[in-house]
């Protein structure tokens, strides 16, 4: 089964491109595969961050001063 792909032009820093090519050789993966993996991981991380923000949206906010007072009261600072 073949996955449909889209072609894109990406301009990379020369040192980054060299590192990517070397990693491609060492891992026996194409540069495209490595870029796809990196982008997929970055997007998944963004999705996790958004979910964490949504989970904490209802949290009560306190000021920095109040936080310091609580930590001091609890003997943590």
pLDDT of residue 3: 76
Is 41 a member of any domain? yes
Q: What CA–CA distance (Å, rounded) separates 60 from 20? A: 44
pLDDT of residue 34: 98
Is 6 a member of any domain? no
Task: Quick: pLDDT tens for 22-75.
Answer: 999 999 999 999 999 999 999 999 999 999 999 988 888 899 999 999 999 999
Range of the domain at 61: 14-73
Q: What CA–CA distance (Å, rounded) separates 33 from 50? A: 26
User: Looking at the 3D structure of the chain, how many domains does it have?
Assistant: 1
Is 24 a member of any domain? yes
Q: What CA–CA distance (Å, rounded) separates 35 from 10? A: 10
Mind giving me the DSSP string for 8-63?
------HHHHHHHHHHHHHHT--HHHHHHHHHHHHHHHHHHHHHHHHHTTTSPP--
Is 8 a member of any domain? no
Is 66 a member of any domain? yes
- pLDDT bucket at 15, cuts 50 / 70 / 90: very high
Is 9 a member of any domain? no
């Amino acid at each position: 089964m073949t996955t449909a792909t889209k072609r894109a032009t990406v301009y990379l820093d020369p040192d980054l491109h060299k590192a990517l090519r070397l990693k491609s050789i060492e891992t026996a993966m194409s540069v495209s595969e490595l870029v796809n993996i990196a982008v997929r991981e970055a997007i998944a991380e963004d999705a996790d961050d958004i979910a964490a923000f949504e989970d904490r949206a209802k949290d009560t906010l306190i000021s920095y001063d109040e936080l310091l007072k609580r930590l001091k009261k609890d003997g943590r600072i």
